[in-house]
Amino acid sequence: MNITKQNFEDKILFYGRRRGRKLSTSAKLAISTGQKYIIKKDNFLNIFHEHKNIILEIGFGDGENLVNSAKNNSNFFYIGADPFVNTTAKCLSKLLKFNLKNVVIWPDDIRKILYLFPQNSISEIKILFPDPWPKKKHINRRLIQNDFLEKIHSIIKHKGTLTIATDHDLLKKWILEKFQRYTEFEWIVESSKDWRFRPHDCFQTKYEIKSIIQLRKPCWFTFKKK
Ligand SMILES: C[S@@+](CC[C@H](N)C(=O)[O-])C[C@H]1O[C@@H](n2cnc3c(N)ncnc32)[C@H](O)[C@@H]1O
């Protein structure tokens, strides 16, 4: 599948929320002072010339995993994407607070820039608690779709990994079925410990805490590119 700007980005419709409550003064300040973290399409490719170990987080939410990962692994470079303005402001204020130098963010739908990533350029991808879109009529809104997997597969390095967390039973089933059919990835699993517990390189996020409080069972599925 030859994915170009024309046939991929232009057809994208984002169904999630872009904005929540009115932004506080500190959130507005984080957005204006945090502009240095925002990806500019024009020099996006420089990232791949300058860094060899790149981790992409799709849907970083409040940024707990993205910021803690970047703080603790200065030898990795992180790209985060999330279109929700309110949480992007929270993430930016954390990046500014710790003055992190190994992160950039795309404050929009990741699918709008996937065509810009060079093939085999990303070491790991994390998608933690993506929106489940549980209603049958909204199934097409789920992020994990065949064409998305195909694109993700092309940008991950050989033997690179993709970790997806979810606490939603329908989405667990949906993910496992998708990967059973898309055999270019191998599910890294030997025992239930491999999916019942958060991997050592992921940090606890707001949605993991929510799932524990609401007595749901979060799962982390890690797939390796063959
Ligand atoms: C349920 S929240 C989870 C947030 C965070 N990962 C956590 O675990 O707390 C899902 C997040 O994914 C983001 N999201 C949804 N579709 C996306 C897309 N196409 N590209 C990037 N982010 C997306 C949403 O804006 C939202 O912040």
Pick the closest to residue 203 from 61, 58, 68 (CA basis). 68
Cβ neighbors of 158 (< 8 A, separation 6 or more) are 120, 225
Contact (CB, 8 A) for 105 and 37? yes
What are the residues facing 185 on neighbouring strands?
Answer: 225
What confidence tens digit (pLDDT) does each residue in 89-127 have?
999 999 999 999 999 999 999 999 999 999 999 999 999
Evaluate if residue 146 carries a pLDDT over 70.
yes
Residue boundaries of the structural domains of the chain: 9-225
Percent of the chain with pLDDT over 70: 93
Give the CATH number of domain 9-225.
Answer: 3.40.50.150
First to last CA, the chain: 18
Catalytic site includes residue 131: yes
Can you give the C-alpha Rg of the chain in angstroms?
Answer: 17
Task: Look up the pTM and report it.
Answer: 0.94
Is residue 133 predicted with pLDDT exceeding 80? yes
Residue to probe by mutation, ligand 1, list 9, 14, 58, 171, most atoms within 8 Å of CB: 58
Catalytic residue among 131, 147, 194, 201: 131
Tokens 């910021």 correspond to: 67
Cβ(70) to ligand 1 under 6 A? no
Pairing status of strand 103-106 against strand 122-128? unpaired
Q: How many Cβ atoms sit within 10 Å of the Cβ of residue 22?
A: 8
22-38 pLDDT, tens digit per residue, is 889 999 999 999 999 99
